[in-house]
């Protein structure tokens, strides 16, 4: 990539599909044939969900950690948000099959992780360095007037009413050993579809007014399911809710493409 092409890019849920990610980054000119950062001063944001559902979640985390170092040396950046599957897999790493107390029948991180595409090889290969890096990921960020979030939910607001406060609360709970707080984090980040439906635009507007940014960009919810299509039929992100919200998860794990979206996104004619 020529440095005049530098920009801000976002990519959604990789879910262990390392080959699909690297192929998409090569096609966009963000990495070279040797899979090294080739995007100069560009900025690349991952919206979380590196782990589970696919063969090589830890390999994806390794790539993102490596690319963030390479990008920084080139004057660019690679950053990432926390996804619900990071909380789930880290919850298994920390609490294993420990049962939660109150509730509706037996619950543990291990049981939920198994039901949600957990991959044994990821647990075996998670190092303390990975765990530290993942636990430091922010839940939310505003970049170039875009509010970046993993999940299309307003449950983030249960941790605070500013990005700094929400990120601090999530960071602190992941630094702690309170299994109930961890579980609430997983549960909240697993909710979705807050900006769909007749009140979607109004809810998105309220969230932007509170947290900042002019447009929400999220992953987590596979576009094809809202459009009544198969994931393989998707070829771009989904701009909806009065153009206030951009969904970028095209369902790589389910046979969809790995979308790498340049911001600001402009809807094709």
Q: Which residues bind Mn ion (CB under 5 A)?
A: 49, 83-84, 220
CB of 44 to Mn ion, least distance (A): 19
Least distance to Mn ion from the beta carbon of 33, Å? 31
Residues 96, 110: Cα–Cα separation, whole Å: 5
Nearer to Mn ion (CB atom), residue 77 or residue 191:
191
Q: How far apart are CA 253 and CA 47, in angstroms?
A: 15
Task: Give residue for tokens 């109150």.
Answer: 102
Q: Which two tokens mark 48?
A: 């979380």
SS3 9: strand
User: To the nearest whole angstrom, how small is the minimum distance from the Cβ of residue 220 to Mn ion?
Assistant: 4
Q: Other C-beta atoms within 10 Å of 3: how many?
A: 12
Cβ closer to Mn ion: 49 or 56? Answer: 49
CB of 85 to Mn ion, least distance (A): 6
Output the CA angle 147-211-13, nearest 5 degrees.
30
Which of 14/241 has CB closer to Mn ion? Answer: 14
Min CB(49)–Mn ion separation in Å? 4
Task: Find the residue with minimal CB distance to Mn ion.
Answer: 220
Residue 264, preceding bond cis, omega within 30 degrees? Answer: yes
Nearer to Mn ion, 84 or 153 (CB): 84
Question: Which residue's CB is nearer to Mn ion, number 84 or number 167?
Answer: 84
């Amino acid at each position: 990539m020529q440095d005049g092409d530098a920009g801000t890019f976002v990519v959604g849920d990789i879910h262990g599909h390392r080959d699909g990610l690297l192929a998409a980054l090569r096609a966009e000119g963000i990495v070279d044939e040797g899979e090294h950062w080739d995007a100069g001063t560009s900025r690349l944001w991952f919206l979380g969900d590196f782990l589970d559902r696919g063969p090589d979640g830890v390999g994806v985390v390794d790539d993102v950690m490596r690319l963030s170092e390479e990008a920084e040396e080139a004057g660019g950046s690679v950053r990432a948000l926390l996804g619900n599957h990071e909380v789930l897999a880290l919850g298994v790493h920390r609490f294993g099959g420990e049962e939660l107390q109150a509730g509706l029948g037996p619950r543990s991180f291990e049981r939920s992780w198994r039901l949600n595409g957990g991959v044994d090889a990821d647990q075996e290969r998670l190092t303390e360095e990975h765990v530290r890096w993942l636990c430091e990921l922010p839940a939310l960020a505003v970049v170039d007037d875009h509010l970046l979030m993993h999940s299309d939910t307003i449950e983030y607001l249960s941790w605070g009413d500013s990005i700094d406060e929400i990120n601090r609360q999530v960071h602190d709970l992941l630094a702690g050993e309170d299994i109930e707080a961890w579980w609430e984090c997983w549960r909240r980040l697993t909710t979705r579809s807050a900006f769909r439906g007749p009140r979607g635009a109004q809810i998105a507007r309220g969230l932007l007014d509170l947290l900042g940014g002019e447009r929400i960009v999220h992953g987590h919810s596979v576009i094809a399911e809202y459009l009544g299509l198969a994931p393989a039929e998707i070829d771009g992100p989904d701009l909806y809710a009065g153009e206030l919200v951009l969904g970028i998860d095209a369902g790589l794990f389910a046979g969809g493409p790995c979308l790498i979206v340049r911001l600001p996104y402009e809807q094709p004619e």
